[in-house]
Structure 1
Amino acid sequence: MDSSIHLSGLLSRHDDEATRTSTSEGLEEGEVEGETLLIVESEDQASVDLSHDQSGDSLNSDEGDISWMEEQLSYFCDKCQKWIPASQLREQLSYLKGDNFFRFTCADCSADGKEQSERLKLTWQQTALPARKGFRHQTTRFLYRLVGSEDLAVDQSIVSPYTSRILKPYIRRDYETKPPKLQLLSQIRSHLHKSDPHWTPEPDAPLDYCYVRPNHIPTINSMCQEFFWPGIDLSECLQYPDFSVVVLYKKVIVAFGFMVPDVKYNEAYISFLLVHPEWRRAGIATFMIYHLIQTCMGKDVTLHVSASNPAMLLYQKFGFKTEEYVLDFYDKYYPLESTECKHAFFLRLRR
């Protein structure tokens, strides 16, 4: 009985904490075909409402309190496989604050008795551990696993390895948008109960916009393989989750967008943007582009888009301008038998 009460309380708390938001005002509804974007800069931004904080911080992320973060910070020893609290280090590794891209060896495992660190490019599993440290319980309770919550992490904030910002669980929870696939699912449920006059449909689950997590990567890579070309691995995006957006219906990934924040000085680059064909024409791509633009306030945003992609019209609504027409840009990506257009426009949104 107690477990039932606790379970219902857990689920109700999950719903209460969710932020129900509608489509942002001022955004044009649009659609993006499955194309990899290499961004082009634009000269006019008048068509987009970018009246957010000019500091460059995302409205959905908070700067963590530094002293509190120092208390929570730990380093993982690659040899003894233990977390070493920063307060127990013999030498304070101040130059590594906010940077999780290194291999750490504690003093007990080191030959000279001193802490050692070696900078490296982490795998997505290694990146995930420091990002979630301090925001996860040491053990996952059976009740959380019962309701699908190794996703306990889904409802908890994470620390960005790139900026040390605290990223909230959701960017947005959309209860109003009804893409074609969602409408079809509702019709299927209604058809099953058409002979029951007392049946009332349950509310649809929201479309959840969130930052990329390690458990998203296998599915995203699979979608890239299907809609773009073979060999794409977006694990590197876990190093800068602030500049990502993943759209889920329950636990199904229906769309995603990624940006490289510092491809050049004062320039960010949208590398991949995709909405699954069955979930298009519902404004999902519009919000994703809007969100990615907001994460890099003050920087130019660039991308490449296939010459045959109708998404070009959507980018123009946001103020992107064509800067270059690149012949055979996708020739080195698409397979030889591909019928997709291999020429691309390079677009830029000037800030």
Structure 2
Amino acid sequence: MPAFRRASSKNEDDAYTEGVSQTKRQKGNSGRVIVPSPSMRVTRASMSLDGLLDLFQTGIESRTSDDPANDLEEASYFERFVGSVLPECLEVRCRVQDSDCRTDSFGTLLRPLSRYEVSAAIKYASAFGAAVLPSPAQAAILRKLQLHRERRRTDIQGLDFVNHNSLTSVPPQLPPQPPQSGIVDSLRSIRTTHYETSFLSRLCGHRPSTDSGLVAVDWETRSPWMELMTDVREHYSYAHPASSQSHEVLVPIRYVSLQPSHLQQVHELLARVFWDGINVSDLLQSSERCSVIAMYGKIVIGAALLSSPQETYITYLAVRAGWHNCQIATTMLYHLIMLNPHRDITLHVAANNPAMLLYNRFGFKAEEFITGFYEDYLDSQSRASMNAFRLRLRR
């Protein structure tokens, strides 16, 4: 709210309850001098007509006491005068109230309290404060009103009303400053420290992994094949309660690079998913960046392979049956992309292959449609489309 400047006397708030200390001579409408009585109370509350009505009433009493024969004439004159002045006073008061009104964030129209309303609120709260314990919000509002009145009495200039959304003033909000380019570059240059070379490894100890080329370990994924094996084991235990039962050992899904021991299973998996005669043994020389193999125990359940570190062309992405819809292909593709940063990655995918949705989630975009791309690889009776899209992930 805007600041309210004080331009009245020091004791104007006391005028609500105190009488006029100095007797003044006034002239009535008839031209005669009016001497206010000692018990007369002149109120000067803004946004109130009580003072005006008291003044007219005092004038009538003074005039009628001097000449009782003119009672009816003076009363009718007063009513006519007030009737002509009152609409204009009410209109002026409404305009002043409208100019001081503000709208809060909820659309509610608010206006600051007048001096009369402030004194009336303090008087009311003081009269009933001993009987009813005020809430913290009511007590804070009462303290604000008392402080506001005391500042007016002591002629403190530049008093600002508090924000209508809070009980305390809010400091001005500074415009956001753009971060310095050097700070942003320093943050972007930070690289993650490997655990084996980190400070935490020196505190907790580090034991090198026995898995060669380990990329990631997943303990949470449960595939349909794993659930089926659990049901078979439980059914056998229920059917043969007398026989000794072996406890199920929880094994995570490990993502590793291609090893010579994986070649046979990888070739069998690619032959089931794609076609016979696939050989990826040449990737053993650069397997750390060009391959991600998903293992469950000693079983190969998925493979994602690049042609070479120079070309970064995805040749094969396959998952074993019974392990679909478990985010295994998504995880392999993610790690394969992260192993080859700052390089574009390309691939071909059949036009009716649902893997197109997976590649689109990673940002691959179609660049070319090739007719008959798989005619030399697929059987003529195959349900897979012979046409293919060429996709590219730009880095």
TM-score (norm 2): 0.45
Alignment of 1:242-281 (within 5 A): 242=288, 243-264=290-311, 268-281=312-325
User: Which has the greater radius of gyration?
Assistant: 2
Measure, in 1, the Cα distance between the counterparts of 2:336 and 2:375: 27
Per the TM alignment, residue 204 of structure 1 is displaced from its structure 2 partner at its CA by: 2.4
Does residue 326 of the first structure (1) align with residue 373 of the second (2)? no
Q: Is the 8 A contact 2:286 2:309 kept in 1?
A: no
Per the TM alignment, residue 60 of structure 1 is displaced from its structure 2 partner at its CA by: 10
1:285 to 297, 316, 329: 329
Aligned partner of 2:305: which letter? F
Per the TM alignment, residue 199 of structure 1 is displaced from its structure 2 partner at its CA by: 7.8
Measure, in 2, the Cα distance between the counterparts of 1:323 and 1:203: 47
Measure, in 1, the Cα distance between the counterparts of 2:350 and 2:365: 14
Q: Is the 8 A contact 1:330 1:342 kept in 2?
A: yes
- Evaluate the alpha carbon distance shift between residue 255 and residue 189 of structure 1 in structure 2; reply closer, same or farther with a 3 A threshold: same
2:275 to 229, 234, 239: 229
Query: Helix, strand or coil: the match of 1:181?
Result: helix
Query: Helix, strand or coil: the match of 2:374?
Result: helix
1:202 to 248, 256, 267: 248
Measure, in 2, the Cα distance between the counterparts of 1:342 and 1:58: 46
C-alpha root-mean-square deviation of aligned residues, in Å? 3.1
Alignment of 1:103-118 (within 5 A): none
Measure, in 2, the Cα distance between the counterparts of 1:307 and 1:194: 48
The structure in which a higher percent of residues are helix is: 2
Q: Is the 8 A contact 2:369 2:390 kept in 1?
A: yes
Measure, in 1, the Cα distance between the counterparts of 2:304 and 2:337: 11
1:36-58 Cα shifts (integer Å, max 9, x gaps): xxxxxxxxxxxxxxxxx989999
Q: Is the 8 A contact 1:304 1:346 kept in 2?
A: yes
Measure, in 2, the Cα distance between the counterparts of 1:302 and 1:55: 29
Measure, in 2, the Cα distance between the counterparts of 1:236 and 1:315: 25
Measure, in 2, the Cα distance between the counterparts of 1:56 and 1:212: 26
1:184 to 228, 236, 259: 228
Measure, in 2, the Cα distance between the counterparts of 1:258 and 1:215: 16
Measure, in 2, the Cα distance between the counterparts of 1:55 and 1:214: 36
Q: Is the 8 A contact 2:217 2:254 kept in 1?
A: yes
Structure 1 window deviating more from structure 2 (292-301 vs 226-235): it is 226-235
2:266 to 220, 228, 232: 220
Q: Is the 8 A contact 1:58 1:295 kept in 2?
A: no
Measure, in 1, the Cα distance between the counterparts of 2:194 and 2:344: 19
| Structure 1 segments of 4+ aligned residues over 2 angstroms from their partners | 53-62, 154-157, 194-204, 260-264, 335-339
Query: Helix, strand or coil: the match of 1:336?
Result: coil
- Evaluate the alpha carbon distance shift between residue 339 and residue 194 of structure 1 in structure 2; reply closer, same or farther with a 3 A threshold: same
The structure in which a higher percent of residues are strand is: 1
- Evaluate the alpha carbon distance shift between residue 57 and residue 239 of structure 1 in structure 2; reply closer, same or farther with a 3 A threshold: farther
Query: Helix, strand or coil: the match of 2:322?
Result: helix
1:212-260 Cα shifts (integer Å, max 9, x gaps): 0011112211222222112211111112111211111111111111113
Per the TM alignment, residue 279 of structure 1 is displaced from its structure 2 partner at its CA by: 0.7
Per the TM alignment, residue 292 of structure 1 is displaced from its structure 2 partner at its CA by: 0.5
Aligned partner of 1:214: which letter? P
Measure, in 2, the Cα distance between the counterparts of 1:223 and 1:350: 29
Give aligned-pair identity as a percent.
Answer: 35
Aligned partner of 2:300: which letter? I
Equivalent position of 1:297 in the other structure: 341
Greater relative contact order (Cα < 8 A, sep 6+): 1
Q: How many residues get paired?
A: 194
Equivalent position of 2:210 in the other structure: 155
